[in-house]
């Protein structure tokens, strides 16, 4: 993201937040009084993949000691869903979702994937990305159809299907914004979105505006920060305006704020820094 785009994104986010306001007036009028509930601060485990591969249970225990309440599962490192659930219970952590490949969700593997998320104790089965060949209006319409179908099956077990975005999902192709196709052609009762705010910003989308224009569609976030040069950063150390985004997150239906860093130099330091920022944040 260049400096002009970043300024535009931040300015729009602030404007949307101020326009939306709160029941007691605008955010500026009431002051920064809200906070993320402790039960909503989680870690997306892709961030911790290196230590998890060496000591899954020990890594979970350290996250719990830092204060994390929940996790999003992304890679099992040879463990079964039942194994991970036992380790989560031992650490007093709760899994809220698992990332599952599109080919599984749209194919014969869906029933087992749904059962595994139930075993983990999660609420959402999340498609992390679409195959590159589907990045066209026709491909996204097919994905929307498959998500609705999978969402119907998942609902029978008390789950919901979510889609996780990357920057390329927000491009305009054939005159249509691809992400908008999913927003408009999926059933809100069956399909939601795990919004990665970093990738949304990189793709030119405004998370705050999405929350306002598509209420209750975003139960989970990937809270990922952007360094001034566009790289990944620990949450709170970069340029993204999280207070402006979160001011209207409730309208978007956000219940989980999951920390993520795609390439942390020290995963535990990133986890600690990011938790500290989110736990202290007032907006």
In the chain, beta strands by DSSP E:
41-44, 70-73, 94-99, 124-127, 160-164, 172-173, 176-177, 191-196, 220-223, 225-226, 232-233, 256-259
Question: Residue 33's pLDDT is what?
Answer: 84
- Tokens describing residue 109: 């593997």
- Tokens describing residue 218: 């975003």
Residue 39 contacts residue 96 (beta carbons within 8 Å):
no
Furthest-apart CA pair in the chain: how many Å?
53
**pLDDT, tens digit only, all 283 positions of the chain:** 444 444 344 444 444 444 444 333 334 445 668 999 999 999 999 999 999 999 999 999 999 999 999 999 999 999 999 999 999 999 999 999 999 999 999 999 999 999 999 999 999 999 999 999 999 999 999 999 999 999 999 999 999 999 999 999 999 999 999 999 999 999 999 999 999 999 999 999 999 999 999 999 999 999 999 999 999 999 999 999 999 999 999 999 999 999 999 999 999 999 999 999 999 999 9
The whole-angstrom separation of Cα 118 and Cα 96 is: 10
Q: Which residues contact 78 (CB under 8 A, 6 or more apart)?
A: none
Q: What is the pLDDT of residues 221-252, one digit of tens each?
A: 999 999 999 999 999 999 999 999 999 999 99
The whole-angstrom separation of Cα 142 and Cα 148 is: 10
The CATH number of the structural domain formed by 3-17+36-280 is 3.20.20.150
Residue 26 contacts residue 56 (beta carbons within 8 Å):
no
* 224-227, Cβ contacts within 8 angstroms, sequence gap of 24 or more: 224/196, 224/197, 224/198, 224/199, 224/259, 224/260, 224/261, 224/262, 225/198, 226/1, 226/6, 226/198, 226/201, 226/202
- Tokens describing residue 173: 């192709």
Question: Residue 32's pLDDT is what?
Answer: 66
Q: Which residues pair with 127 in a beta bridge?
A: 163
Question: Residue 122's pLDDT is what?
Answer: 98
């Amino acid at each position: 993201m260049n400096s002009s785009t970043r300024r535009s994104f931040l300015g729009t986010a602030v404007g949307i937040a101020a326009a939306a306001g709160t029941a007691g007036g605008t955010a500026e009028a009431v002051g920064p009084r809200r906070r993320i509930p402790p039960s909503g601060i989680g870690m997306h485990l892709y961030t911790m993949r290196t230590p998890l591969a060496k000591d899954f249970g020990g890594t979970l225990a350290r996250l719990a000691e830092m204060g994390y309440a929940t996790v999003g599962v992304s890679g099992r490192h040879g463990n079964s869903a039942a194994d991970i659930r036992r380790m989560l219970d031992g650490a007093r952590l709760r899994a809220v979702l698992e990332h599952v490949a599109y080919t599984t969700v749209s194919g014969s593997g869906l029933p087992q994937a749904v059962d595994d998320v139930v075993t983990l104790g999660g609420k959402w089965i999340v498609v992390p990305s679409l195959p590159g060949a589907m990045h066209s209006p026709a491909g996204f319409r097919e994905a929307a159809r498959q998500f609705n179908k999978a969402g119907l099956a998942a609902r029978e077990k008390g789950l919901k299907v979510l889609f996780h975005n990357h920057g390329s999902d927000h491009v305009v192709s054939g005159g249509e914004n691809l992400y908008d196709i999913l927003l408009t052609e999926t059933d809100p009762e069956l399909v939601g979105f795990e919004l990665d705010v970093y990738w949304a910003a990189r793709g030119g989308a405004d998370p705050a505006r999405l929350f306002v224009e598509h209420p209750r569609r975003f139960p989970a976030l990937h809270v990922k920060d952007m360094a001034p040069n566009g790289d990944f950063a620990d949450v709170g150390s970069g340029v993204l305006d999280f207070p402006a985004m979160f001011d209207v997150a409730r309208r978007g239906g956000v219940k989980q704020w999951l920390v993520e860093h795609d390439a942390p130099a020290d995963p535990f330091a990133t986890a600690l820094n990011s938790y500290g920022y989110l736990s202290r944040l007032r907006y």
